[in-house]
C-alpha cells in the first residue's frame, strides 16, 4: 500500500467518529427543517394536511441517500395522499444530477395516470413508479430551502390542477 492512502486511513481513524456525528446532526437538523417547511406552508391550494409532518432518511444499494419530510392529507378528486419533500444524493442516473431537491405526491392513481408537463424552469420529472408523482430540481447556487421547496410544492399542485384531480370535488 502506498503512503498516501495509508496516511488518509490513519487520519480517518481519528476523524471518523466526529464525521459520523456531523452527518447525524446534519440529518436531524434537515429532517426538522423539512417538517417545518411543510408545517409552515400557508398557501396550499387544494391539498388539506390532516396530520403533523414527519421525517426520516434512507439509503439504497443503487439508490443513493436521501432525507425526507412528509405530511398526510387529502386532495379533492385524488383522496388520501402523502406530500413529501426531500434531498437526494447519488440518485439513479435517470435523475440526471448528483444531488436533487424533490417533491412528490404518493398514493394517488389519479395523479399517477397523468405525466408531468413542464412548467417552471429547472423543475422536471424523471421517475414515476407505483403511485408516485415526483418532481426534481438541482440545488441552485443560491440555495434557499423555503423558496426552492415552495417552488417544487407549487409545481406539484399545478400538476394536480392540470390532471383535473379536483373535478367533482
Q: Of all residues in the chain, what percent carry a pLDDT higher than 90?
A: 53
Burial of residue 113 (CB within 10 Å: 0-12, 13-18, 19+) is: exposed
Q: Which residue has the cell 378528486?
A: 77
pTM for the predicted model, two decimal places: 0.87
Residue 159 has pLDDT above 90, yes or no: no
Asked if residue 71 is part of any domain, the answer here is: yes
Asked if residue 79 is part of any domain, the answer here is: yes
Asked if residue 126 is part of any domain, the answer here is: yes
Q: Helix, strand, coil: what percent of the chain each, to 5?
A: 40, 30, 35
Asked if residue 86 is part of any domain, the answer here is: yes
User: What's the rounded Cα separation, in Å, for the pair 67 and 156?
Assistant: 19
Residue 40 has pLDDT above 70, yes or no: yes
**What pLDDT score does 10 carry?**
93
Asked if residue 169 is part of any domain, the answer here is: no
Q: What is the pLDDT of residues 116-149, one digit of tens each?
A: 667 677 888 765 555 667 889 999 999 999 999 9
Asked if residue 168 is part of any domain, the answer here is: no
Q: Which domain holds residue 77?
A: 3-163
Q: What is the pLDDT of residues 77-110, one digit of tens each?
A: 778 889 999 999 998 877 888 999 999 888 776 6
What is the count of structural domains for the chain?
1
Amino acid at each position: 500500500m502506498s503512503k498516501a492512502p495509508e496516511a488518509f486511513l490513519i487520519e480517518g481513524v481519528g476523524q471518523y467518529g466526529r464525521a459520523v456525528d456531523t452527518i447525524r446532526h446534519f440529518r436531524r437538523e434537515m429532517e426538522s427543517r423539512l417538517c417545518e417547511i411543510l408545517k409552515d406552508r400557508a398557501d396550499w391550494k387544494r391539498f388539506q394536511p390532516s396530520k403533523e409532518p414527519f421525517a426520516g432518511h434512507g439509503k439504497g444499494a443503487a439508490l443513493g441517500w436521501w432525507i425526507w419530510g412528509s405530511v398526510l392529507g387529502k386532495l379533492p378528486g385524488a383522496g388520501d395522499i402523502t406530500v413529501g419533500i426531500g434531498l437526494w444524493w447519488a440518485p439513479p442516473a435517470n435523475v440526471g444530477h448528483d444531488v436533487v431537491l424533490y417533491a412528490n405526491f404518493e398514493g394517488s392513481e389519479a395523479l399517477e395516470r397523468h405525466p408531468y408537463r413542464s412548467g417552471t424552469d429547472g423543475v422536471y420529472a424523471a421517475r414515476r413508479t407505483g403511485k408516485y408523482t415526483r418532481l426534481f430540481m438541482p440545488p441552485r447556487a443560491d440555495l434557499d430551502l423555503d423558496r426552492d421547496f415552495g417552488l417544487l410544492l407549487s409545481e406539484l399542485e399545478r400538476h394536480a390542477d392540470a390532471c383535473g384531480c379536483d373535478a367533482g370535488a
